[in-house]
Amino acid sequence: MSNSKPASVNQVWLVSLAALAVSVAVVGMNLMGQGHAAFNTTSHGPLAWGMPVVTYDYFVSFSIGMAFVAGAALVFDVEGLYASMKRVLWIAMAALAGGILVLGLELGHPFRATYAILLNFQTSSPLFWKPILVFLYIWVLLAAYAKVARPGWSPAAVKPLGYALFITGGLLAAGSAAVFGLMSMRPVWYDPMLPVFSIFESMILGLSGIIVAVSIGHGGVANAPEPTRKLLEGLGRNGMALFTAVVLLSVVVRAWGGVWSNLDGLQVWQTIVRGPLFWAEIVALALALALLLRGGGLLSAAVLVIVATFIGRYEFVIAGQMVPLFKGSWVPGLVSYAPSITEWMVAVLGLALNFAIYAYGEKRLDLSAAPGN
C-alpha cells in the first residue's frame, strides 16, 4: 500500500498548523492580559453567550452528525461507507476536541464546570443532562473508533456500537437543542420542535463533512474507492438534497412566523431578516440545493451547507439574546453584539485544531482502512 497522500492533505496540514500557532499566540496574550474582559460578553449582562458558545455548539453538532451518519451506516449495513468509517469517526473526535477546547477557553473555570453542574442536581434543566450525554457520547465514540482502528475490523463486531452511536448521537443532538428550545423566556429560542430540527441539521452536517473529508483525503470524490464514490454520488447526494430542503424550509418558516407574530420578544426577527447574514444563509442553502438537484458540484454544495449552517447557528444564538430579559431604561432597544478579536481567534483556534487533528490522521493513521484489510 502506498503511503503517498494527495497534495490537499499536506496543504491542510501546513495551513492548520500555521493558523494554530497564530491563534494560540493571540488568544493566549489577550486572555492572560485581559481575562474574560477580552470577550464582548458578560455573565451578568444582557448577552452572556457569544461567538465561543456558537462555535462550541456548532462543532459538537458537526461531531454528532459525523458519528450519527457512521452509526446509521453500521446499523443499516451501508457497505459503501465502511472504507471511510475510520476517517468519519476520527473527524468526529477532532470536531469534538475543537468544540471542547473553545468552550474551555470561554468558561472562567472549565474544570470546575465538569462537576459543579452535576453536583447542583438541577435535574429539571436540560443543562444538567447535557454533560451526562456528552460524557456518554465521548465514551461510545472512543470505543467505536478503537474497534475500527484495529486491522481487519469486522462490521458485525462494531455494529452494537453503531446502535450506541446512532442513539447517543441523536439524544445529544436533541438534548443540545433543548437547552435553547425549552427556554420560554427567550421567545426566539423557544420551540419544542427544535430538537427534531437539530437532528436533521446534524445529519446534513455529517454528510457534508464526509464529502469534504473524502475529497481532501483522496484528492476528490471521483478518486475515492468505488463503493464510497457510488454511495456519495447516489444516496449521499439525494440525502443531502432532502436534508438541505428540510433545513431551508425550516429556516424560512421560522423567519416567516417570527416576522408575522406580534409576541413581545419576536420583534428581533424584523432585524434579522433585514440583515445580510440571514440572506447569506438562505442563498447558500438554495445554491447548495440547486447544485445537488442538478447533479453537479457535490463538494461545492457540501461547503455551502457547512457555511450556511454556521451562519444560521450564529444568528440563532445571538438573536435569541438581543431582547433583554428585563427591559428598562438601561437597555431601551435591542442588545447589540459584535465578536471581539479574541472571540474570532478562539473560533479560528478551534477550527485549526479540528483540521490539524484530521490532517494528522490522514498522514499517519491510514484513515481509508477498510474491513478485513
Q: Is 222 helix (H, G, I), strand (E, B) or coil?
A: helix
pLDDT (average), residues 135-139: 93
Distance CA 118, CA 122 (A): 8
CATH architecture type of domain 7-359? Up-down Bundle (1.20)
Distance CA 239, CA 371 (A): 24
Model confidence over 223-240: pLDDT tens digits? 888 888 888 888 888 989
pLDDT (0 to 100) of residue 357? 95
Model confidence over 297-323: pLDDT tens digits? 899 999 999 999 999 999 999 998 888
Domain ranges (residues) in the chain: 7-359
Model confidence over 348-367: pLDDT tens digits? 999 999 999 999 998 888 88
pLDDT (0 to 100) of residue 137? 94
Secondary structure percentages of the chain, helix, strand, coil, to 5:
75, 0, 25
In the chain the first and final C-alpha atoms are separated, in Å, by 11
pLDDT (0 to 100) of residue 43? 63
pLDDT (average), residues 92-116: 85
pLDDT (0 to 100) of residue 125? 81
Neighbours of 321 (CB within 10 A): 22
pLDDT (average), residues 243-251: 92
Nearest of 200, 93, 82 to residue 208 by alpha carbon: 200
Model confidence over 178-201: pLDDT tens digits? 889 888 888 889 888 888 888 888
For 53-67, 68-82, 319-333, 346-360, which range has the lowest pLDDT when averaged over its residues? 319-333
Any idea what DSSP says for residue 331? B
**Is the pLDDT score of 326 beyond 80?**
no
Q: Is 220 helix (H, G, I), strand (E, B) or coil?
A: coil
**Is the pLDDT score of 1 beyond 50?**
no
Rounded to an integer, what is the distance from CA 78 to the centroid of its chain? 23
**Is the pLDDT score of 369 beyond 60?**
yes
Q: What does the angle CA 287 – CA 290 – CA 291 come to, to the nearest 5 degrees?
A: 85
pLDDT (0 to 100) of residue 330? 52
Q: Is 328 helix (H, G, I), strand (E, B) or coil?
A: strand
Q: At what angle do helices 51-75 and 341-364 cross, to 10 degrees?
A: 30
Cell of 330: 438601561
Distance CA 257, CA 279 (A): 16
Q: Which residues contact 103 (CB under 8 A, 6 or more apart)?
A: 52, 53, 56, 110
**Is the pLDDT score of 113 beyond 80?**
no
The one-letter amino acid at 33: G
pLDDT (0 to 100) of residue 2? 43
**Is the pLDDT score of 61 beyond 90?**
yes
Mean pLDDT for the chain overall: 88
The reported pTM is: 0.91
Distance CA 83, CA 74 (A): 12
Distance CA 232, CA 221 (A): 8
Model confidence over 30-46: pLDDT tens digits? 999 888 888 988 766 66
Please state, for a pLDDT cut of 90, what percent of the chain lies above it.
46
